[in-house]
Structure formats: structure tokens, C-alpha cells
Amino acid sequence: MSIDFKQIQFLKSAAELSHLPFDSGAEVAFAGRSNAGKSSAINAITGHRHLAKTSKTPGCTQLINLFSLNENQRLVDLPGYGYAKVPKAIKMRWQDTLTQYLQTRQCLRGLILLSDIRHPLNPFDQSLIEWSFEVNLPVVMLLTKADKLGFGAAKKTVMEVKKAAREYPNLEEVVIFSAHAGTGLVEARSLIAKLLK
């Protein structure tokens, strides 16, 4: 069954896990630092310019935002980690909600980890890959903002990331990605569809 990403619709925002839809069907969640270009990636992959909110100010996504592809499959935009300009108490609450979602959501089929290609595999990224490995959750890494690097440098970065993360076989693919230039869109869609099945 192929997925028509253009059919996607905003489902709801959840501040707490208790506000999430019933834990059934299949979800793929997008995670990454606040400035990794997560919302832009979701918009590019689905072909909707304003589906996920984008902002020049990192940390705009402060809720778990759910988007429905059909009645059984969803994409989830998780709060960015490393949120800028928010009080520490709010930051800790978001972090706790994020952790609980990843640990308890039974319908979660995989994680799309977004990382700026110029600064990949930061400590947050590494800890997320490690945790996903422990719970046997597949991870696809999108190295975003690839239009900021030349092709040779981008390929070199992919090789370095794969080498650094080779002890984690749950990291299924590392994709050169640019929402701005459309790089990696076809591959990202294919990998998400595979996870949702």
C-alpha cells in the first residue's frame, strides 16, 4: 500500500500524553534539536507549505503535534530538544513528556531524527539513537540543510555519521536532506512508508 502524503491532515496538538489519540495504528515521529529544520522537513515531505509551523525562532514546537495520513497512520512532530529562550521548568516538562512518549507509545514504529548536516550527531542525537537501540526502535536520520554544503562534503559527512553510529544497527539509513532544495524527499518518503507498514 503506497502512502499519499498530500492527503495528510492536522489531527491535534497534545500538551500531555493523556491528550494523545488512542494508542493504535502506526505512528512515525520526527525528533531533533530546535534548529534542525524539523517543521520544514515535514512540510516538504508532505507537500504542504504550512502544515507544520515554521519559525525563524528555534523552539516553536512546544506541543506534540499529530497529523493523520489516514485512519490508521500518523506522523508526529515532537517538541524540539535544546529549546531556545524558554524557562528551565518548561524545558524540563517538555523533555519529560517527550521521554514518556518515546517509552510508552506502543504504536510508534520508528523515529525520523533530524540533524543539521553541518553539526551532526550532537550529544542529544547520540543519546536518542542509543535509547532507540535499547528499545529496538528503527531510526532514519535526515541530515538537514544540505544545501548549505557541497555534495562532496555532504557525502563525507554521511560516511562519518555512519561510521560513528555503526554500533547501533537500528540506525537504518542516513539521508542527505534539504527541504529548501528538495534533496532527499523521495528517499525520505519511501523510508517513512516502509516504517509505517
What are the helix (H) ranges across 3-79?
Answer: 38-46
Query: According to the model, what pLDDT value does residue 68 have?
Result: 97
What pTM value is reported for the model?
0.91
pLDDT of residue 89: 73
Q: Residue 63 — φ and ψ, nearest 5°?
A: -125, 165
What mean pLDDT comes out for the span 160-180?
A: 94
pLDDT tens digits, 99-150: 888 889 999 999 999 999 999 998 889 988 998 998 899 999 999 999 999 9
pLDDT at 96: 78
Q: How far apart are CA 40 and CA 129, in angstroms?
A: 22
CA–CA distance, 114 with 44 (Å, rounded to integer): 13
How far, in Å, CA of 158 to CA of 174, rounded?
Answer: 6
Q: Give the list of residues 6+ apart from residue 42 with CB closer than 8 angstroms, or none.
A: 30, 51, 52, 67, 75, 77
Q: State residue 179's pLDDT score.
A: 95
Sequence-distant (≥ 6) Cβ neighbours of residue 29 within 8 angstroms? 75, 76, 77, 78, 101, 102, 108, 110, 111, 112
pLDDT at 83: 54
Distance of CA 92 to the CA centre of its chain: 20
d(CA 137, CA 22): 20
Q: How far apart are CA 126 and CA 33, in angstroms?
A: 12
Tell me if 111 sits within 8 A of 137, measured CB to CB.
yes
Whole-number pLDDT of residue 90: 67
- Could you give the CA distance from residue 61 to residue 51 in angstroms, rounded to a whole number? 12
Tell me the pLDDT tens digit for each residue of 35-94: 888 889 999 999 998 888 754 444 455 688 999 999 999 999 988 776 555 667 766 776
Q: How many domains does the chain divide into?
A: 1
Which domain covers residue 11, as residue numbers?
A: 5-196
Q: Give the neighbor-by-neighbor strand order of the sheet with 64-68.
A: 9-14, 64-68, 73-77, 26-32, 108-116, 139-144, 171-176
Output the pLDDT for position 59: 47
Q: What is the CATH number of the domain that holds 54?
A: 3.40.50.300
Q: CA torsion sign, 166 to 168 to 169 to 175?
A: negative
